[in-house]
Structure formats: C-alpha cells, structure tokens
Structure 1
Amino acid sequence: MYKRNIPIVIEPNIELPLSNFEKQTMSTLSRNSSSSSLSSLSYSSDMIEDGKSLIYAQRFFDSVEYTDRESIRLSVINFHHDIHRSFRTTRSDDRRLKAVCEFSDCLFEVYFLPEENYGPTTRIIPHTCTLSYANGKTSRVAKPLWTSRQLVQHVDIRCLFHQHKRAVTPTMIMNVVSSQGNQTSLMNCANACKKLKLEFFGDDIQQYRLLPDYVSKLRQNDHDVILEMEEKQFTRMQIVFREGKQVFKSYAQRGLCLDGTFLKNVNGGILLVACVLNGNQQIQIVSVAIVSIENEANWSFFLRNLGMILPVKPSFILSDRAKGLIPAVSSVYPSTYHFYCFRHLMENFNRKFRSVELKNEAWGLAKTTSMAEYTQKAEHLNQINPAVFKWLQDVGVEEWSLAHCPCPRYGQLTSNSVESVNTSLRKIRKLPILDCLMTIERYVGSK
C-alpha cells in the first residue's frame, strides 16, 4: 500500500502566515468567484477567507513522495478521502495529469507534470463546493484497481478475516469502510474479499493437495473415509460420519433419503448426500460424497460404501429419479424398497398436465393410506382425466402411493429432509473443497 506522511491539520483558531504563492492563489480565487456564475453557491469561511483549505491542500501534496504515475493517482485519491469530496481527471497521459472537482462550478484544480519529477506544479486551487452538495454527488474517489489494493492491506479488514475466517462477505468489508468515513464500491469490496481469501486460505487447487492430511484427521475422529485418486489426481471422495452411523443404527427402519446437488466453487462437481430422520423428526446427515458428475457409477460407489460401512441396511430408500440413481439402487440394494419423491414427480407432472385441480387430485391420491379410499379417489381421477391416471400408473403405483407401500414409510411422501439439508448447505457449497468438507463436518457434529 502506498504510504504518505501524516498531513498537518490546521485548527480553526490558529492564524498562520500565508506564503506568496498562497496569497497569489487566494487573489485568483477571489477574482474567479466574483466573475463566475456562483451566485447560488455558499462558501465556508475556511475555504476562501481564511485560506486554511488552501494551506491544507498545499501541504498535503507537498508531503507526498512522488515516484511514478501511480503515486500521483494515490495522492489525489487520499486527499479526497480525507476531505470527503469527489474528483475527476480531465487530462491524464504520459506528460500530465489534471484533476478537477466533479461539481462543474467548483474551482478545485491540481496539476501534475510527470516529466518534472512527478511532483505537482504551483497550480493548486482548493475545493469551493459545499460539503453537503459534494456528498450528494456520485463519488469517483475509488478507482477499482487501487481501492481493492488499499482494502487488501487495511488493518481492520485483515483483522476481520482473522476473526470471521471464510464467513467474511463484501458487505462486511463495506461496513468497515463506511464506519471510518470512507467510500468505496461493493465491487471493490468483492475484489478485496476474493484476494484476501486467496491469501489467507489458498485457492481450490492448493486445498486438493491437503486432502490426504485431512482424511487422516477424519479417520482419527472415527469417521469412515474413502478417497480415490488416479496418478495423484483427485477422482472422488466419501465420508460416512460417526454421528450419522450412530443415529442410523437406531432408525434404519425410517429409511434413507438420497439426493445430489451442485458444488458452486471454482472446480464444480456434485455433492451426494444421504440422511435419516430420527424419532424426533430431526434430520441427521449420514454420509456425503464429492464426485465429478451424477451418474450410475458414482451413485454405485456411494451406495456400495454405505452398504459396507453402515451396521444395518435401510428398510427403504427415498429419492428423486436422478440419472443413474435408479439402476445403482437396484444393483447395490436389490432387496431394498426404492420409493420416489412425489414432489419431484409432480414437477414432471406439471410439464405435461398444467392443471392445479389435477395436481391436487394426484396429491390426495398419493397421501391416501387405505386401499378402499385409494380405489375411490383413483376412480374419481380416472373419470376426470384418464390420461393423468394412466401417467401415474405407468410411473409405478408402489413407488409413490402410501396405500400400496409394502413397508412403513412414517408419512414420508417426499425427500424434503435431504432437500432441506441441501438448502442449509447452500453457502457452504460455494467454498473450496477442504473448507466445504470441514464446514460440513462441523455442521454434522453440531446437530
């Protein structure tokens, strides 16, 4: 970060002698203010009459050590941060740089000649605009590249990352900046947040190299882990949590809910999740896996490991009809009932039959628990729309109807339990792989 000397702050009640340059500039200001159309503009006493704003500007720019064009830009930006004004550049090339106020009637002007030791010339005129008007203008103080660089090295923001780790957001950085009377954009805060997370926690590729050490730690904590790598390249990984095994052993008769969801980090992938409901209707994550795509091979990998590690088999499996999941369940758990989430069936239903009335009739048919009531509602639906009834029959009545269920389902008609887990992990799924898995581990341990 560019460093400058601390500027001299002029107290209002101190009388300082003006230099010849300052007297000359004040005379220019007085002539310009009388000749320009500034009748509606009110000047504060410290701007023109006392000349103290001019003295501050002159001493501020004189205190900076100019080494290149970037140092010139930073000095102008720092100056406007201090006085809470906005500026724009009217000339900016290899030979010169001129900054003026964003308010066109303001007389502010500072002129630099990079060819002459980069320092400012004697053309410095302070701001004559009122602070209330300046604050209402769109600030151009913060340039994206410079501001993100400044925020990255800000002590308070770095402390924010030490305290909140990965939970830091661009909005939190913006609040720190605003609390100190400065201004920046949310985009600058997002860029700084990205750079600091890379500095503090490393990128996604670096975290993949740390997975073997993390696997060893998980196994020390009695979690079962399967890590597959080919030629030192990550292929897929599964964790069966200690807490999940303990809960599943007691509530295997309540079935196992399965679902896959996207990872939203740089490398992407799919997060496979298996969970179970305990006696208090609380959701417990049993296992998660990170794979490249959702297909039969990866689902078979996931279910095969569950079959080897879990002490008992689930009485049934409840899921959507994801690609590869149905054949994987039938091959790994051939004797286990596989039911379909009725909410997912209704999503497919809506694409074919756009009718709220028919949809409600289908839900009523699925929720029916007695065969007599099911027969009555099925006949009614068949009379209303035979195509709808045939569509439901073709899916397989045993896979979605509670009345035809060969085992107790404890009222579970949908896989909402695992869907709610995916929703809870929404922000976690954006993290790099190691942070993602560690956060899920803490999440499971806190349940």
Structure 2
Amino acid sequence: MIYGDGDYEYGRVWEYAAALTKYNPGSTAIVVVDNDENPPSLFQRMYVCLKACKRFFMDPNNNIYPVAWAVVEVENRESWTWFLSLLMEDLEKEDGAGLTIISDRQKGLLEAFNIVTPKAEIRFCVRHIWANFKQQFSGPVYKEAFWKACRATSIAEFNRELEGIKFLSTKAHAYLTSIPAKHWSRHAFSTTSKTNFLMNNMCESFNVVLKEARDKPIITLMEWIRRYVMKRHYEERVGVVGYEGRVMPLVTKYLQWADDECRLCSFVHSISGEYEVTHRGLKKLCIWKGVNALAKT
C-alpha cells in the first residue's frame, strides 16, 4: 500500500525508461527482458545513467560520486560484462583507458574486466584479501607485516615485509606472491593513476545506503536511488558555494602533509632528472626521478 504493487511496476519499466530519456535528454536507460519462453516476457535487467552524472564524472574532494546503477538477475560474468560495457560507453572510456577500478574480486567480475576494460588499472581491495588470508594465517605479526606490505611505497620495503612473512610461513608467502603486487601494493601501482586507495570502502558505504531501497518494487527502487543521487549532488554544490580556498579541503590537507614532509627531506643531485633523497624523520633513502623544477619545489 505504501510503495506500490510489484507486478504493476514491472509492467511499466519500459514507460519509466522512456520517461527518463525524454525528460532528461542525454541520459541512458536500458531495459532487458527474457524472451526465450512464451509471453509474457520476464524482466531481466535495467541500467540507468543520468546525463548530469556522466557529464560531471569527477569529484575533486574525493567524495563518493554515483555515476550509474543497475538491477540484474545475478552477478556473473555476463551481467558484469553488460554493465561495464554500458558504463564505458557512457563515460567514453574505450577499454577502460585512464580508469582505476577497485573490486573485491566478485565472481565473474575479473573476467569482465579482461573483456571490457583491459586498459584500466585493476586493484583488489586489500581488506578482502586480508579477510581471506587471515583465515589461514592469523595473528598480529602476520597482520602487521601484511598491511605494511600493502602500504609499501618502494620495492625494497615490500620485499622486506614479504621476507618476514616467508620466515613465519612459506605457505603464507606463496599465498601472497600468487597475487600480482600491481593489484594490491602501492609500490607497484601505475604512476598514471592519481589515487593511492587500497580499499573499496566507498562502495561499501554506498551499499549500506542502498539497504533502505533494496526491498522496494523496481520503479520505486530506481526513483529512490535517483532522488538520493540528486539530493547528494545538491548538498555537495551547496557545500562548495561557501568555500573560499583555492583547492578543495581534502587536497589542501594532502598538500599540507606533503609540505611538512618535504621539510624533513634533503637531496643530492645525481644525474639529469635523478636525485638521492633522504628523509630525516623516517631515516629512509630513495632515488627520486623527475624534472629539476619539481625537485627544487
């Protein structure tokens, strides 16, 4: 009585999709039905990406930014491939070039990445890796070494932590080395990516929000998400109006941290564009490559 009749709403999904694209030109609304059996057709999937979401696909303050959402019959390779294909088309990101995608290695998702986004940088949520790892190798020593390996910014630091794990258990060492480091340790991340995230906490946060809508009929569900996204974007815009800084608050925080750390660093010029940098606080030494102007800054 409150949310409407489920059968009635499933019967109007075509009208809903048509309304979205009519009154919000440039949006994408796709409905897929199963026609393999005798009529009536059965609803299978629905995908929505509003024009404003794809047009302004960026958040300079690193907040959650919902771009597209879908309802599917089951999470598998086929449904993930379908969703990712539509998403890449809306974002105009052929083969996923320029994107960094973090996942929990959901069944079928890794195969979909290979098919649709072979040029994207793929990362695995380290919280999920640790959840599986600790089932066999638990304890504070393993935990400390594992997280240090994840956050390592140099291969020497990474190898040192893995050697410590190998000393404890060769099986634990083999388990971690079987997962390519480029998917879960910062030292191996591509320099083209502009994020150092290790976990998909943002996705988990959004999943918690969606719990309120999951049990509603299809159109009520879709409208709940649309209104939530619209409200969220409005609140973000209002928050920015009164902000007077030159860059966003989170970026300012990062820059202040970098400024404080730089004051503890000294460098010796090696060859053109290469420097030996020593951090007095951490007592670490590394080789830094870059243009002279950046090094001096």
Q: TM-score, normalised by structure 2?
A: 0.70
Asked if the contact 2:4/2:217 (under 8 Å) is kept, the reply is no
2:239 is aligned with 1:239: no
Residue of structure 2 equivalent to 1:372: 156
Any gaps of 5 or more consecutive residues in structure 1? 1-195, 252-277
User: Could you tell me how far 1:364 is from its partner in structure 2?
Assistant: 1.2
Structure 1 residues 222-231 or 289-298, which shifts more? 222-231
Residue of structure 1 equivalent to 2:24: 221
Over the aligned positions, Cα root-mean-square deviation in angstroms equals: 1.6
User: Could you tell me how far 1:281 is from its partner in structure 2?
Assistant: 1.5
User: Could you tell me how far 1:433 is from its partner in structure 2?
Assistant: 1.2
User: Could you tell me how far 1:361 is from its partner in structure 2?
Assistant: 1.5
User: Could you tell me how far 1:318 is from its partner in structure 2?
Assistant: 1.0
Residue of structure 2 equivalent to 1:62: none
Task: Give the Cα–Cα distance (whole angstroms) in 1 for the partners of residues 64 and 128 of structure 2.
Answer: 20
SS in structure 1 of the partner of residue 211 of structure 2: coil
User: Could you tell me how far 1:382 is from its partner in structure 2?
Assistant: 2.1
Structure 1 residues 401-410 or 413-422, which shifts more? 401-410
Q: Pick the aligned partner of 1:385 from 145, 153, 169.
A: 169
- Matches of residues 34-53 of structure 1 in structure 2 within 5 Å? none
Residue of structure 1 equivalent to 2:206: 421
Per-residue CA distance 1:319-365 (angstroms, 9 max, x = gap)? 11111000111011122221111111111112222223312211111
Give the aligned residue type for 2:54.
K
User: Could you tell me how far 1:305 is from its partner in structure 2?
Assistant: 0.8
2:234 is aligned with 1:430: no
Asked if the contact 2:24/2:50 (under 8 Å) is kept, the reply is no
Task: Give the Cα–Cα distance (whole angstroms) in 1 for the partners of residues 72 and 198 of structure 2.
Answer: 27
Task: Give the Cα–Cα distance (whole angstroms) in 2 for the partners of residues 347 and 244 of structure 1.
Answer: 33
Per-residue CA distance 1:188-223 (angstroms, 9 max, x = gap)? xxxxxxxx33xxx43211110121121112112132
Asked if the contact 1:243/1:444 (under 8 Å) is kept, the reply is no
SS in structure 2 of the partner of residue 284 of structure 1: coil
Asked if the contact 2:29/2:49 (under 8 Å) is kept, the reply is yes
Greater Rg, structure 1 or structure 2? 1
| Count of residues in correspondence between the two structures | 221
User: Could you tell me how far 1:409 is from its partner in structure 2?
Assistant: 5.0
Task: Give the Cα–Cα distance (whole angstroms) in 2 for the partners of residues 444 and 356 of structure 1.
Answer: 40
Distance 1:417 1:243, change over 3 A: farther
User: Could you tell me how far 1:316 is from its partner in structure 2?
Assistant: 2.0
Residue of structure 2 equivalent to 1:290: 71
Task: Give the Cα–Cα distance (whole angstroms) in 2 for the partners of residues 326 and 303 of structure 1.
Answer: 11
2:135 is aligned with 1:325: no
Give the aligned residue type for 1:373.
E
Q: Pick the aligned partner of 1:443 from 212, 225, 228.
A: 228
- Matches of residues 100-119 of structure 1 in structure 2 within 5 Å? none
Q: TM-score, normalised by structure 1?
A: 0.47
2:9 is aligned with 1:207: yes
Give the aligned residue type for 1:225.
A
Task: Give the Cα–Cα distance (whole angstroms) in 2 for the partners of residues 243 and 404 of structure 1.
Answer: 34
Any gaps of 5 or more consecutive residues in structure 2? 36-40, 233-297
SS in structure 1 of the partner of residue 110 of structure 2: helix
Give the aligned residue type for 2:113.
V
Distance 1:361 1:409, change over 3 A: farther
Task: Give the Cα–Cα distance (whole angstroms) in 1 for the partners of residues 116 and 103 of structure 2.
Answer: 15
Structure 1 residues 304-313 or 331-340, which shifts more? 304-313
Task: Give the Cα–Cα distance (whole angstroms) in 2 for the partners of residues 281 and 315 of structure 1.
Answer: 15
Per-residue CA distance 1:98-121 (angstroms, 9 max, x = gap)? xxxxxxxxxxxxxxxxxxxxxxxx
Task: Give the Cα–Cα distance (whole angstroms) in 2 for the partners of residues 230 and 293 of structure 1.
Answer: 13
Distance 1:241 1:352, change over 3 A: farther
Residue of structure 1 equivalent to 2:197: 412
- Matches of residues 23-422 of structure 1 in structure 2 within 5 Å? 196-197=1-2, 201-219=3-21, 220-222=23-25, 223-231=27-35, 232-248=41-57, 251=58, 278-312=59-93, 313=96, 314-407=98-191, 408=193, 410-422=195-207
Task: Give the Cα–Cα distance (whole angstroms) in 2 for the partners of residues 420 and 389 of structure 1.
Answer: 31
Asked if the contact 1:238/1:289 (under 8 Å) is kept, the reply is yes
Distance 1:389 1:320, change over 3 A: same
